[in-house]
Amino acid sequence: MGTLGLDMERGLFLGIDFGTTNSVVSVFNFRDGQAETIPIDGGNIFPTAVQFETDPEDSAKLSRVFGVQAKEAAIIYPQSTVLSVKRCLGGDEKIEITVDEQSHTFTPEQITGEILGYLKQKADEYAQEELGITGEFSGCVITVPANSTDKQKRMTKAAAVFAGFDEENVYLRLEPAAAAISYAVNETSDKIVLIYDFGGGTFDACVLQIQMRDGEPSISILSTFGDNNLGGNDVDKIILDMIYEEFKKLTGGEIDLFDDDADDGVSRRQKKVALVRLAQAATLAKERLSQAKTTKVVMAPLIQEPKIVNINMEITREDFIQHRRSNPLGDLQEIYEKFRDKNLADLIDETLKCVDQSLFASSMTERQIDEIFLVGGSSSLLLVSEKIQEKFGKEPFKSKISPALSISQGAAYYCNMIMMPTVKGPVVHEKTIHPLGLEIAGRRFLEIVMRGLDIPKDGLTVESSELLTTSFDNVSSMAIVVYENTAPQEDGKNVSVTQEGMKRLAGTSLRGIPQGPKGKEKVKVIFHVGQDNMLKVKAQSMSADGALTELSVDELYE
């Protein structure tokens, strides 16, 4: 069979929701005009995990195990298994694994690329065998959190290229926007919608407007606001904390599973295995308590040295809701302080603060929201629906699509727009998320790109209305320091780059400026924002023999 009548000049595109805990891939099925989730290894939800082992045919090489098998292998081989790699994207630390006492080091984008490559391989096989489509997926749309930094986006894109996708055919789109498409394709009326996206590693709130035009939904993103350090993993740690408190009672507090160097009679390997088992037990208990009022946690034994310790406890939904976290559980001190003494209701209240910020940025009130669309696995918690209903006076939308699948299916609709741009369908009008600008004299913030600006298909180009000038006599260079204002205030005047919410994206120098008196030389700065909200900045000295520098902000992190 052929390619269903497609113009394949741009190749076949795959929609990917690459999550902290789980990933989902979807394709647009042109036979029925619907997005279709591709089962990977028998399931729609694929654990974002990879385990390395020595290649049986060549001891100098490593082989890989992915998904469910890798997640299960983490219990036995924690040193050679990588989980939650998405939280490492955007950082500078390498990931070290140990296989047969040999250490190997990878970058986060390499590990991400390994997992994406496996998803691509399985999707290629499914498309050929089940959908009858020839060829393979050469392009993809990968969704990213609304609050992603340029560096995180850059590393995600590099991982996709590592996985085998063509660089020019890798598109990044915001997770709430993709979820919005999943919701909007079945809409028939104008609405204001809140997307509540409680994923494994991040939380995003997005307010969007849906307007019906010629029978098709037109989606405008009015605002987004998120927290990159608040997700389902942090909910899991409330239950993990409950189990760990039981462990401390049983051991009299003499064993610290999170301290590899403690002289407490427990080997490093046994501690790592125990921690993986605890984490998986906590996740399973959370899922059960989404449906049931009580669940049991049994690990017999959890450790065997220096003594056997068995965990056998019952956790009620009410216990889960009321428990306040008291242990660091391996978190960095800054992250632990954020969640110390917090219970589940507190965490959900933190998500609602993001919702409030998104409402404020969109100039909307709770009463103006027509529908609330829940996205992400942790949004299925009963307390989430209760809190939403309390705040908005209405129940969340009852979607036919699982909250865990909606982002990937929305990404697949994006793929359809790329592959078949002349075909009617939902259209998303991308907008700038936060104000962007430069640091100028006095550590002040010069806003160049306003939030909420429409981003055309070819990107948005904005030239600073204010030319920069040299601050001293006879200088030959000027610092170009780019900032993002993630928490803009209603009064945007005299904003300092040191205030809360200001994020330094990058800095470089414009060199080769013709020397002269202070203030004589003028410098023009131009910002270009792509539809994936990635930023490029150009600074140019205005003299005939002046200098020019052009940079991609994220490249400066390399």
Using CA atoms, how far apart are residues 469 and 477, in angstroms rounded to an integer?
11
CB 523 within 8 A of CB 475: no
Report if residue 42 sits inside a domain: yes
The answer on 325 and 262 residing in a single domain is yes
Band of the pLDDT at 492, cuts 50, 70, 90? low
The answer on 478 and 341 residing in a single domain is no
Q: For the domain that residue 232 is a member of, what is the CATH number? A: 3.30.420.40
The answer on 161 and 18 residing in a single domain is yes
pLDDT value of position 544 = 60
Other Cβ atoms closer than 10 A to 365: 10
Judged by average pLDDT, the poorest of 119-133, 339-353, 537-551 is: 537-551
Using CA atoms, how far apart are residues 289 and 144, in angstroms rounded to an integer?
28
Report if residue 3 sits inside a domain: no
The answer on 442 and 304 residing in a single domain is no
The answer on 146 and 35 residing in a single domain is yes
The answer on 143 and 28 residing in a single domain is yes
The answer on 216 and 357 residing in a single domain is yes
Residue 31's beta-bridge partner residues?
A: none
pLDDT value of position 6 = 47
Per the prediction, the chain carries an average pLDDT of 88
pLDDT per position as a tens digit, 32-58: 788 899 999 999 999 999 999 999 888
pLDDT per position as a tens digit, 80-111: 999 999 989 988 899 999 999 899 999 999 99
What number is the average pLDDT over the span 310-320? 96
Using CA atoms, how far apart are residues 276 and 375, in angstroms rounded to an integer?
26
Band of the pLDDT at 542, cuts 50, 70, 90? confident
Report if residue 412 sits inside a domain: yes
Is 50 exceeded by the pLDDT of residue 5? no
The answer on 418 and 474 residing in a single domain is no
The answer on 290 and 164 residing in a single domain is no
pLDDT per position as a tens digit, 383-396: 999 999 999 999 99
Domain containing 490 equals 436-557
Report if residue 295 sits inside a domain: yes
What number is the average pLDDT over the span 432-454? 88
What number is the average pLDDT over the span 222-246? 92
Judged by average pLDDT, the poorest of 17-26, 223-232, 542-551 is: 542-551
Is 90 exceeded by the pLDDT of residue 417? no
The answer on 194 and 101 residing in a single domain is no
Band of the pLDDT at 316, cuts 50, 70, 90? very high
CB 109 within 8 A of CB 189: no
Using CA atoms, how far apart are residues 83 and 112, in angstroms rounded to an integer?
10
Band of the pLDDT at 79, cuts 50, 70, 90? very high
The answer on 123 and 223 residing in a single domain is no
CA distances from 412 to 24, 139, 144, 156 (A): 11, 11, 14, 18
Q: Would you say how long the chain is, in residues?
A: 558
pLDDT value of position 201 = 86
Pairing mode, strands 170-174 and 137-144:
parallel
> What total number of domains does the chain contain?
3
Report if residue 129 sits inside a domain: yes
Q: For the domain that residue 501 is a member of, what is the CATH number? A: 2.60.34.10
* pTM of this structure: 0.85
